[in-house]
Amino acid sequence: MSEAVSKSIMIFLEGYPTTFLATIAFFIMIKLLMKSASRRNGE
Amino acid sequence: MNLLSNFLVPAGNLIMFAIGGVLIFLAIKKQYEPMLLLPIGFGAILTNIPGSSAIGEHGVLTILYEAGIANELFPALIFIGIGAMIDFGPLLQKPVMFFYGAAAQLGIFLTIIVAALLGFDIKEAISIGIIGTADGPTSIYVASRLAIHMLGPISVAAYSYMALVPVVQPPIIKLLTTKEERRIRMDNRTEKVPKYVRILFPILVTLLAGIIAPVSVALIGMLMFGNLIRESGVLNKLSNAAQNELSNIITLFLGIAIGSTMTASAFLNQSTLLILLMGLVAFILDTMGGILFAKTFNLFRKQKINPMIGAAGISAFPMSARVVHRMGLEEDPNNFLIMYATGANVAGQIGSVLAGSIVLALFL
């Protein structure tokens, strides 16, 4: 297997899950923001 | 000097005139991304006139290229305009759409592998795969860093396929979803997004993305800066300037400067054909990734989400959301998918920049 192919597979195996992990962080962040907003509205 | 000899234009240059003409035709007649394809097409013609004074040490196009593309300035500035144009409200109301925006980046990663298998070196393969961000400025940014000699075909592929989203996506969506799935109705209740949330969002996204992949700061930072200007409510003049004047001027310079890279020797080769083909592969794989994720996600959800929305996770904004919305209406005239599809689409905008930055971070 050429170096480019092995590197590209490494980028896939590491990069795609990392993109998802980052997304989870964004998701939690928005959820917290919106929760605090609805709590403020409820007060 | 014998000016008559100027009539002897090499065949390669003549072919480039024709290619420039085709791009201008597509821009005017078919309205395929006219703001980019027309300047690129005309730039290609200017560049391929033998002895053209537009390129070279004191050539205006070369100066523009050095000033804005070689140093990655133009793509970053364009993001200020894009950020000022985007309303992240639908995503803030339906944050689950963030996952759809990430899933639809599959095409980037798989296309990098395919390009490497086809014999491109890793820098070239990454630049080709990044066409799958469905995001012109990110494609240009990465290509100008890693494979500047491929900038012309990569830009043409990125913008052409974005314009062709209404043609490329529907058959794949139909292939991967059942009629029943396409008719899944979505709950369109909305919740008000407070102003402070809209203001905090771009700041926090920049911080988070910057911590995860510092290389993303140039692009995400500019995107979110534009959005902060928009949402602040106190910079309406700047927001309008970013959305209109800044965006238009940079797009104009960007397009014609990209055209200046399309010399016959750089463009007329087998790689260009492969790049154009790989760009299509990337868009198809992105769409498949988004839909298959949506279908898998539904296995774990009580309230199912229409899997067509997964296809809107690519960053081609707002074409992809419109395609999904239209297809939903075709299946059921009372099924309005636009809010979810827009949420996924703007999530794809962030996801694509993030994925592009993560790829760069892994390579650099």
Q: Which two tokens stand for residue B109?
A: 């990663």
Question: Cα B227 to chain center, whole Å?
Answer: 18
pLDDT confidence bin for B1, thresholds 50/70/90 = low
pLDDT confidence bin for B346, thresholds 50/70/90 = very high
Compute the average pLDDT of residues A14-21: 92
Q: Is A30 an 8 Å CB contact of chain B? A: yes
DSSP string, B227-292: HHHHHHSS-HHHHHHIIIIIHHHHHHHHHHHHHTT--HHHHSSHHHHHHHHHHHHHHHHHHHHHHH
Q: Which two tokens stand for residue B98?
A: 């963030």
**Residue B3 within a domain:** no
Q: How many domains does chain B have?
A: 1
ipTM entry:
0.90
**Residue B2 within a domain:** no
**Residue B287 within a domain:** yes
CA distances from B340 to A22, B98, B308 (A): 20, 11, 10
CA distances from B151 to B22, B65, B129, B273, B293 (A): 18, 11, 13, 14, 31
Taking only the tens place, the pLDDT of each residue in B83-96 is: 999 999 989 998 99
pTM for this one?
0.88
Of B101, B113, B208, the CB nearest to A8: B113
Query: In the predicted model, is pLDDT for residue A36 greater than 70?
Result: yes
Q: Which two tokens stand for residue B81?
A: 């305009």
Interatomic CA distance for residues B90 and B192, integer angstroms: 10
Would you state the pLDDT for residue A42?
67
pLDDT confidence bin for B202, thresholds 50/70/90 = very high
B99/A33 touch (CB, cutoff 8 Å), yes or no: no
Would you state the pLDDT for residue B212?
86
Following CA atoms B98, B166, B72, B344 in sequence, which dihedral angle do they give, to the nearest 10 degrees?
-10
Query: Highest mean pLDDT range out of B58-72, B102-116, B162-176?
Result: B102-116
Q: Which two tokens stand for residue B340?
A: 């979810």
A30/B350 touch (CB, cutoff 8 Å), yes or no: no
Would you state the pLDDT for residue B42?
95
- In 3D space, the residue among B155, B136, B143, B22 whose CA is nearest the CA of residue B79 turns out to be B136
Structural domain spans, chain A: 1-43
Taking only the tens place, the pLDDT of each residue in B111-148 is: 999 999 999 999 999 999 999 888 888 999 999 899 98
CA distances from B205 to B56, B201, B208 (A): 41, 6, 5
B358/A8 touch (CB, cutoff 8 Å), yes or no: no
**Residue B1 within a domain:** no
B200/A33 touch (CB, cutoff 8 Å), yes or no: yes
Would you state the pLDDT for residue B4?
66
**Residues B147 and B124 sit within 8 Å (Cβ to Cβ):** yes
Query: In the predicted model, is pLDDT for residue B218 greater than 60?
Result: yes
Compute the average pLDDT of residues B28-40: 88
Please give the residue of chain B at the shortest CA–CA distance from A37.
B194
**Residue B4 within a domain:** no
Of A10, A12, A23, the CB nearest to B110: A12
The range of the structural domain enclosing residue B323 comes to: 10-363
